[in-house]
Structure 1
Amino acid sequence: MQPDLEALLQRDVSRETCEKLEAYKALLIEENERQNLISKATIDEFDQRHLIDSAQLLTNHADPAGKWLDVGSGAGLPGIVLATLHPGSVTLVEPRRLRAEFLRRVVDDLTLSNATVHHKKVEQVTDAPTVITGRAVANVSKFLSLTEHLTDLSTHFVLPKGRKAAEELEAAKKVWQGRFELVPSVTDAEASILLASGIKRRGKR
């Protein structure tokens, strides 16, 4: 995994960091027996399907001081991976109690001092981030609505999307305006990463 990560991020990744990611992988697979966090069919390809897939989000926003918010973090993808690899703060928001408890245990076990877990809905979050992400939470337009209270024109969105990314984006543009870009995922030929900034509702001053 280390050579793949270093090639992706174009920087050295310490052995300690890789050990933390391996520990997270073990904790997640174990917890998956108690609550359904990831598809069991993806476990054999865990590094590519989950770790590298999450890590690639950092290549689309290089601010080392960026404050990331992971909405609906669930299993900790991408939030835990981001907090392990990113020196800035990462907030994981998860409304389901068991999942939030798992995330807090991971943060403690991995000693991720830059990570904070909130057991609440994103609508209840008040601390504005600089970068917002979320995996399989909602379509683009709804996601922008859910996080609107946390954003201004300087906020960046880095959103992993599936094969309907272009369709979702076109629908969102009827309600939202700003700078949008779809870039290919490095782990799935049918998936994309949506980059967005300067976002505001159409007609809003």
Structure 2
Amino acid sequence: MYFKKSILSLLVFFCLFQQIHAKSAFQIYGDIFQFLPLAAATYTLVKKDYEGLGQLAIGSGSTLAITYASKLTFSAIGRTHPNAASISKRPDSGSFDGFPSGHTASAFSAAGFMQHRYGWKWGVPTTVLATLVGISRVVAKRHTITQVISGAILGYGLSYIVSSKYIDKNTNIQIDIDTKKLDNGVEDKQVSLLISHSF
């Protein structure tokens, strides 16, 4: 039994190695980093931001549903009316399931979420990583620039719209404005800012 498992493992390894070896490192990057929403989900779990996790799931799930509905629609149209589905034609194979880029849409759904939920400090790096996914799809000749840009707009826009700003519930910010009338009739205004954080 152990021998059979070893042989099977070796066969699987060599099959995967052939697949990986045939791809460039940049193409492999795009294949891996399409899963940026999983990294974003991990971050929300670390922060115990369950509301954000739900928003990420809705944004990424909706993005993927629209992406694959579009791909199926264009594939069906492309079989009977190729000219009508030319925007969805892949550069490498000629199949009509290229619009929009699913890898790019997925990666940008994480970028849109991270930007809106946690701000530019997380949004900009995630957007750079997602942009590289899109570029990798064009370099690998799996998508046209139009297909990649459309996937980016869809993923980023949809996730940005369904998410909201994160407010740390452990941090309390209070602004107090105190006005006193002095004996000479002049108003004395004092502004105080109190920031507290519970660990």
TM-score range for the pair, normalised by the shorter chain length:
under 0.3
TM-score (ref. length: structure 1): 0.27
Structure (1/2) with the larger strand percentage: 1
Rg (Cα) greater in structure: 2
TM-score (ref. length: structure 2): 0.28
